Amino acid sequence: HNIHTAIIKLFRNAQKSGDMENAYFIMDPVIRKELEAVIKRGVKVRLFTNSEKSVDEKLISVPVLNSARDVLAMGAEVYLRETTTLHSKYMIVDNRIAMVGSYNFHPRSLRFDAENVAVVFDETLSRELTDHFENGISESRKVESPQSLKIDWNFLSIISEKFYFDFL
């Protein structure tokens, strides 16, 4: 829970920007609330995550795409990787604070997995991660609207959606 708390604090203190590159971005209710608030405050939020084409855990592609669609509807920019699997997990806030580690934005990381992150207050590291982020999104698909994000629902995707969120 300390990692989750750190993420909330980073969102609450963001003034200008927040870039998130996360392989399995599935919002829980608290992250959803904080992202809504930070975007309403005028902070530019960008998300880079896997698409249904690149995710290596096909079963969770629907929950990931649902969260991507929802954060896009809030006003964030969303970029989807469509080639090889994106496995990075980092966040940059205001070009000066970086959080890097193994934490996925999903309930399993919050509740079950032994995750670690480092929160580093360093403009040089933040700049290097921002360059990496920019390079990644330049080779990805920018989602233009929530309606343009096609989600293929099937029996297994419905179960996975319910399975992940029942942990909350």
Write out pLDDT tens, residues 83-114: 998 888 999 999 999 999 887 777 666 666 66
Percent of the chain with pLDDT over 70: 85
Distance from chain centroid for Cα 111: 17
- pLDDT bucket at 148, cuts 50 / 70 / 90: confident
> Three-state SS string across 3-61, please?
HHHHHHHHHHHCCCEEEEEECCCCCCHHHHHHHHHHHHCCCEEEEEEECCCCCCCHHHH
Q: What mean pLDDT do residues 26-31 have? A: 87
List the end-to-end C-alpha distance of the chain, in Å, as a whole number: 13
Percent of the chain with pLDDT over 90: 52
Instruction: Please tell me the pTM assigned to this model.
Output: 0.89
Beta carbons of 68 and 78 less than 8 angstroms apart: yes
When comparing pLDDT for 69 and 153, which is higher?
69
Strand order in the sheet with 17-22: 117-121, 97-101, 89-93, 17-22, 44-50, 77-81, 141-143
